[in-house]
Every structure is written in C-alpha cells, then in structure tokens.
C-alpha cells in the first residue's frame, strides 16, 4: 500500500522535509497541482529565506505544488526532492508563449478582422483588428503556412485570427484630406467652431457637399469630429455624417 501524502502534510509547516531518494518518492502517493513561476526563484530546502538554496527555477517554469508551508511557501516536488518556493513568485496562470514575429491585417475591405478564442470561426469572438493593424504571432508562420488560423497574443491573452487576412509585410495606411457629407437627409450639417454640439455654429453643409480636412485622416478613422478647413480657418463637423474619400 502506498503511503498517503496527507500523513506527511500533517507535520508542522515549519518543519523541513528530508530529501527523498528516488525509491522513496516512487512509493509515496503525491497529489500535485501544476503552477508556474512568475519570475526566476530560489528553491530552498526549508520554508525560510535563511535556508539553503537547492537550485534556481527559471521564470515561466511549470512546477508540481504538493502543499503549503507556513502560509507563505509552496511545498514543491522537484527532481524527486521536496523543496520550498516562496508563494509570491508562483502563479496558477499558465504563461503566454513568446511572440516570434509580427504580422499585419490585410484585405478586409474595411471590415474589422475578428479575433477569436479558438482556431475556428465558430469559437467566441473576443475582439477585432482593423486593416493594417499589427498582430503578435506566437509561431514562425510564413505565407506558405497551411494553418487556417494563426495563433496570436491579443490584449495579453492567447487568441486566433484567420490566416488569409494576415500579411508579413507592413501595409501602408491610407490617409485622405477629402470628405463628403452623407446620410444627412434634408437637414443641413452644422459646422462648429469647436468639436462639441455646444459650440458656436459657423455655417452649414448640404448632403453631397465636399469638405477639406485640416489634417489627414486614416482609413477607418473613428473620431467623433473631423477637423476641417472653413473660410480660411479650422472648424469641426460630426464625423457620422462624413464619408472619407480616397483616390
């Protein structure tokens, strides 16, 4: 019959466990929990900063935790030895893979690229990326890769995007200084002195009128107001009634 770890755990948390031989370890039933080091950390032979250092465990290493000692230490099974690691440097969250290369969103025809929780169009959508946006790829993907989805890091989490919309060369971002009034029906669009509906009205524009921007705007811009040139000065119009015009 195997010995139960819980008999061993009943000992005082401050008591250091002896190093076990391989034969002794294989005879003990250990219930382990996989956790990860959040930084490089010392593994010690007792739950104390004054105890001897057995080894240094690198950051993002998976370790087998078998219990807690003195509230601030994890008891860990490492290379057939019981060692102690300070809890502050251990996390249950699996570390993200390293970013290997950068890619860019391409050919979406103005539609944002869906970012998904899994490598399938049926998985949950957790975000989106505009055309030209950069993506952090976790593998050395190439243009000839057969993967339908590429794994990426998105907002500090693992995610996936359709590979057919990813380029490996930076895509020039289109900008324009020309716009046109649209979707304003028969109500004139007000030109304001400042970007607020409380600001002074300087003039109006009809549906189909063109405007010249005082600064270039990127394709897919989401500004609430566009800064325009009006009678030699700068002014503002609500962007929801303006369509950006590109060559």
Specify the length of the chain in residues.
Answer: 247
pLDDT of residue 214: 96
Question: Residue 209's pLDDT is what?
Answer: 93
Look at the pTM and tell me if it is higher than 0.95. Answer: no
Strands 3-4 and 28-29: parallel
Task: Report in angstroms the alpha-carbon separations of 18 from 24, 84, 205.
Answer: 11, 12, 84
* Short-list 19, 8, 125, 140, CA closest to 67: 8
Identify the weakest region by mean pLDDT among 28-37, 40-49, 63-72, 235-244: 28-37
**Residue 220: its pLDDT value, please?**
77
Per-residue pLDDT, 131: 84
Give mean pLDDT, residues 162-168. 95
Helix H or strand E encompassing 70: none
Residue 116, pLDDT > 80, answer yes
Note the CATH number of domain 101-167. Answer: 2.30.30.40
Q: Which class does domain 3-91 fall in?
A: mainly beta
Average pLDDT, the chain: 87
Residue 236 to residue 214: CA distance in whole angstroms: 9
Count Cα atoms within 13 angstroms, Cβ side, for 237. 29
Q: Which residue has the higher pLDDT, 187 or 118?
A: 118
- Cα–Cα–Cα angle for 219, 106, 161, rounded to 5 degrees: 120
Helix (H, G, I), strand (E, B) or coil at 87: helix
Average pLDDT over residues 229-243: 95
**CB 192 within 8 Å of CB 236:** yes
Residue 76 clears pLDDT 90, i.e. is over it: yes
Give the angle 97-127-224 at the CA atoms, nearest 5°: 135
Closest CA to 237 of 186, 181, 178: 181
Q: Establish whether domains 101-167 and 175-244 are of one fold.
A: yes
Task: Give the confidence band of 222 by pLDDT, cuts at 50, 70, 90.
Answer: confident
Q: What is the pLDDT of residue 28?
A: 55
Query: Taking the domains of the chain in order of start, what are their residue ranges?
Result: 3-91, 101-167, 175-244
Residue 16 has pLDDT above 60, yes or no: no
Tell me the mean pLDDT in the region 238-242: 94
User: What does each C-alpha distance from 119 to 58, 134, 189, 219 come to in angstroms?
Assistant: 30, 19, 45, 28
Q: Enumerate residues 6+ apart whose C-beta is below 8 A from 114.
A: 121, 125, 127, 128, 161, 162
Count CB neighbours of 115 within 10 A: 20
Multiple choice CATH, 175-244, 3.90.1300.10, 3.40.50.620, 2.40.128.720, 2.30.30.40: 2.30.30.40
**Taking 90 as the threshold, does the pLDDT of residue 36 lie above it?**
yes
Q: What confidence score (pLDDT) does residue 31 get?
A: 84
The confidence band for 56, taking pLDDT boundaries of 50, 70 and 90, is very high
Q: What is the pLDDT of residue 13?
A: 39
Q: Please give the residue that has the higher pLDDT: either 151 or 24.
A: 151
More confident residue, 92 or 4: 92
pLDDT, residue 22, reads: 43
Q: Which carries the bigger pLDDT value, residue 29 or residue 99? A: 99
Stretch 89-108: mean pLDDT? 91
Residue 72 has pLDDT above 70, yes or no: yes
């Amino acid at each position: 019959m195997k010995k139960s770890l819980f008999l061993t755990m009943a000992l005082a948390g401050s008591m250091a466990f002896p190093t076990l031989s391989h034969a002794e370890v294989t005879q003990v039933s250990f219930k382990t929990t996989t956790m990860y080091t959040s930084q490089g950390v010392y593994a010690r032979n007792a739950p104390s900063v004054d105890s001897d250092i057995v080894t240094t465990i690198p950051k993002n290493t998976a370790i087998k935790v078998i219990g807690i000692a003195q509230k601030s230490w994890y008891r860990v099974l490492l290379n057939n030895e019981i060692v102690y690691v300070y809890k502050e440097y251990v996390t249950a969250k699996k570390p993200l893979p390293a970013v290997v290369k950068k890619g860019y969103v391409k050919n979406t025809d103005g539609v944002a690229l869906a970012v998904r929780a899994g490598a399938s169009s049926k998985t949950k959508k957790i975000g989106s990326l505009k055309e030209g946006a950069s993506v952090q790829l976790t593998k050395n993907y190439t243009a000839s890769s057969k993967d339908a989805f590429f794994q990426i890091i998105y907002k500090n989490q693992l995610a996936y995007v359709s590979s057919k919309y990813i380029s490996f060369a930076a895509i020039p971002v289109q900008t324009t200084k020309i716009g046109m009034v649209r979707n304003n029906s028969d109500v004139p669009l007000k030109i304001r002195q400042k970007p607020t509906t409380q600001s002074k009205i300087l003039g109006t524009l009809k549906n189909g009128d063109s405007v010249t921007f005082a600064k270039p705007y990127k394709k897919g811009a989401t500004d609430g107001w566009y800064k325009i040139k009006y009678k030699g000065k700068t002014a503002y119009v609500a962007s929801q009634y303006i369509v950006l015009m590109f060559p």
